[in-house]
Amino acid sequence: MLKNTAPRAAAGAVRQSRRLRRAMTLPEILLWQALRDRPGGLKFRRQHPSGAYTLDFYCSDARLAIEVDGEAHSRSDRPARDAVRDAWFADRGIATLRLAAADVLRDLDAVVRGIVAQACARLPLHHPAAPGGPPPRDKLGEE
């Protein structure tokens, strides 16, 4: 597992995230029950505070945020607010995968397979060396 490189939570965001964990929607609960089993060997966090925002789910290794959007996300100013939020995370190297709550309810297995595929595609080819760890093999004369 790579070091968590998500932006630090703003003041009060942790308390808000804990409250949201107790008030998850049915699609979020169903998705969490699938993601907590670490599909594809990936670790996911739920209601993860990052900056001024709380991500529904977050895979630190893949730097992938998963948002389950209900019908309310298509009304009023929500699409614009979601776009600003997604751009904020993209500037910090975190991709956002938005899923319709109806899709989670309709075919959870397909949704989980899609999430794992997206996350695996974003994984680095190798883990960076630990600070103070051994030098790369080519520096030791090995090939």
Tally the C-alpha atoms within 13 A of residue 98's C-alpha that lie toward its C-beta. 11
pLDDT at 69 (0 to 100): 86
Phi, psi of 95, rounded to the nearest 5 degrees: -85, 150
Which stretch of 41-45, 50-54, 111-115 has the lowest confidence by average pLDDT?
50-54
Distance CA 55, CA 16 (A): 11
Distance CA 3, CA 128 (A): 10
pLDDT at 114 (0 to 100): 95
Phi, psi of 34, rounded to the nearest 5 degrees: -80, -40
Residue 99: its H or E element: strand 95-100
Closest CA to 50 of 59, 41, 42: 59
Under the banding of pLDDT at 50, 70 and 90, the label for residue 143 is low
Q: What is the mean pLDDT of the chain?
A: 81
Please write the tens of the pLDDT for every residue from 59-87: 988 999 999 987 665 567 778 888 998 99
Average pLDDT (109-114) is 95
Closest CA to 10 of 101, 88, 84, 66: 88
